[in-house]
Amino acid sequence: MILKPIRISRRHLLFSVLIILGSMLFLKPIQSFAFQDSCATPIVNSPSGPVCGAQVNLPGGGQANAYRGIPFAESTAFPNRWKPPVAKAVWSETFLATDYGAPCPQLGVKSYSEDCLSLNIWTPTEDVITNAGAGLPVMVFIYGGSFTSGDAATPMYNGAYIAASKNLIVVNLNYRLGALGFLAAEGLNGNYGFLDQQLGLKWVQQNISSFGGDPERVTIFGESAGAMSVGLHLLSAPDSKPLFHAGIMESNLLSLPYKSLADQRNVGDLFKQAVNCRDVSCLEQTGVGKLLLVQATFTPEMSQIFSGPKYYLPFAPAIDGDVIVEQPIEAVGNPENMNKPIIIGTNKNEGVTFVRDRSIKPEKYATWMANIFGEKFQRVIEQYPSKQLASNSALWARVQTEDFFHCSTRWFLKQASAPVFGYYFDHQPSFNIYGTSIENCAKDDNVCHAVELPFVFNTASLMHESFTEDEKKLSHQMIDYWTNFAIYLNPNGGGGGDNPEWPHFQESTKQYMEFNLPVSSVVTDPYEEECDFWDSIGYNLVSPWQ
């Protein structure tokens, strides 16, 4: 007989993705657009207008220039809601860039605004370096949060240490989120948040040389939804190709397919009805607060209607044939697409973040499996049989970790034609970035989703935490690799460094850099048996019941 899709609620699954990923954020109130005659930094005469910022002191010594909240687009409020972003008009007075821009609308944040498309720039303080024409490498970070939460003001993403210690430039930027960023319906094409990212990258191309950066040496990097965005820019978005020369993806959920525009419009039309609107004009006149509240209740209800892994994230980029033209996990095998160097990797226990320690009965475990893996779910259950008399939360976390992260990443690495470097982060930090909200991330040697980020930016102190001495060394090592990649397109740099040699990933050897204490080292195919199984299941199950 032919199995039919099981229409079950994925309330816990979806809420884990949409809310927990944003729980690490530490957001700050923001000052609006302001001008001032006197500045703490040299005035930067950029093509967009003159800018000055603040000098920031680093814990342990050192300084960086911080230019915060620089607008790169006009407000996205009506009449610009659900439209491609409009580049910010050039200004003539000096813009005081000392406060972060407002976060884009999202639940749990009071000071959000639809006038949120701004970016932050950190540079070294030495005049000889920050003068226009210095030609420094540039790293642009894209935050995660399931495309429903996140903010460039998050202390964990602060680029001051990298800029000051490595003499390069760090940028991060805001983009629209949730329904306001990715709603598609009749008359709406979605992908607005992704277009925001593109416009921010275009702003960098046009302006970063004024801050001492080289627009020809821009590396984009991101985590979770940010890594998914990097993958789309790398492989699936034609207009993004000229905007950077390399990419770093931390914890990309590569096995999750993106919806088609038709699929996204089906979701959007249902959302429109949930708002009690019949047309786009009604949506445009609806208050942001109501849209966010409807989005929160709509997300679990949506899973009663739509089935399959492409609906795991209800509001996300979609394959529209114009802005985004194909699934990145399919595009990676084409040398014409895969022509830029990449670092890509995962953490040891990514799925624990989503599952936590909730009790999962065998029947719930089975229905979730069927929802994600369709007609192949029986094979998955045979490989990962449920426990009848105990919770299956650890098992479900393992399935998500291996399929969504470890093994789809290995498959990506095997298919890549450009130089690629794989990593595996295997250290449980001495502090829990999630606090008490996910206590399992501080137990059983779990290395959860996103815990590598304080090491990548060396920002434990800005999170009111402290690295151990060994953790400081690990952070410095990761920053060496990340910045060497931005400078040389190779994490080993120009050679002669103290860090272990990080080999290119090759299908014949399958070597990764394992980041761990007391020392990091090269490991070979750490999940060979598991990943051979998941390779046989496949990673792009757009319609798993067909």
- Residues 345-402 have pLDDT tens digits of 999 999 999 998 788 999 899 998 998 998 999 999 999 999 887 789 999 999 999 9
Q: Which domains does the chain have, with CATH numbers?
A: 11-357+417-494 (3.40.50.1820)
Give the pLDDT of residue 437: 87
Catalytic site positions = 224, 350, 449
**Mean pLDDT over residues 319-326, rounded?**
97
Amino acid 546: pLDDT:
59
Distance, CA of 177 to CA of 116 (rounded, Å): 11
pLDDT at 147: 98
pLDDT exceeds 90 at position 155: yes
Question: Would you tell me how many other CB atoms lie within 10 Å of the CB of residue 28?
Answer: 12
Diameter of the chain measured on Cα atoms = 76
pLDDT for the residue 32: 35
Banded pLDDT at 219 (limits 50, 70, 90): very high
- Whole-number pLDDT of residue 48: 98
**pLDDT for position 28:** 34
Rounded CA separation 452/38 (Å): 39
Q: Which two tokens stand for residue 171?
A: 């940028």
- How much is the mean pLDDT over the chain? 90
Please state, as a whole number, how many other Cβ atoms lie within 10 Å of the Cβ of residue 38.
Answer: 8
φ and ψ at residue 472, rounded to 5 degrees: -60, -40
DSSP 243: G
CA distance 534 to 402: 8
* Entry pTM: 0.93
pLDDT band at 198 (very low <50, low <70, confident <90, very high): very high
Q: With bands split at pLDDT 50, 70 and 90, how would you rate the model's confidence at 253?
A: very high
Tell me, what's the pLDDT at 114? 98
Q: How confident is the model at residue 13 (pLDDT cuts 50, 70, 90)?
A: very low
Q: Are 335 and 506 in contact (CB under 8 A)?
A: no
Whether the per-residue pLDDT at 226 is higher than 80: the answer is: yes
Confidence of residue 127 (pLDDT cuts 50, 70, 90): low
Residue 7, pLDDT > 50, answer no
The least confident of 9-13, 326-330, 424-428 is 9-13
- Average pLDDT for residues 168-183, to the nearest whole number? 98
Residue 199 has pLDDT above 50, yes or no: yes
Chain segment 411-422, per-residue pLDDT in tens = 999 999 889 999
Average pLDDT over residues 443-448: 95
DSSP string, 493-518: TTS--SSPP-PPP-TTT-EEEEE-SS
pLDDT of the residue at 38: 65
Q: Give CA–CA dist 362/375, Å, rounded.
A: 18
Top-confidence residue, 192 or 128: 192
The confidence score (pLDDT) of residue 131 equals: 66
**Looking at residues 408-434, what average pLDDT do you find?**
96
- What percent of the chain clears pLDDT 70, i.e. is strictly above it? 91
Which region among 26-30, 104-108, 226-230, 419-423 has the lowest average model confidence (pLDDT)?
26-30
Type and span of the H or E element at 293: helix 288-302
Pairwise CA distance, residues 509 & 492, whole Å = 18
Band of the pLDDT at 24, cuts 50, 70, 90?
very low
pLDDT of 129: 57
pLDDT of 303 strictly over 90: no
pLDDT at 134: 83
Hey, CA dihedral for 5, 389, 10, 224, is it positive or negative?
A: negative
Rounded to the nearest angstrom, the gap between the alpha carbon of residue 152 and the centroid of all alpha carbons in its chain is 11
- Asked whether the predicted pLDDT for residue 2 surpasses 60, the reply is no
Asked which of 44-58, 92-106, 250-264, 299-313 is least confident by mean pLDDT, the reply is: 299-313
pLDDT reported for residue 316: 97
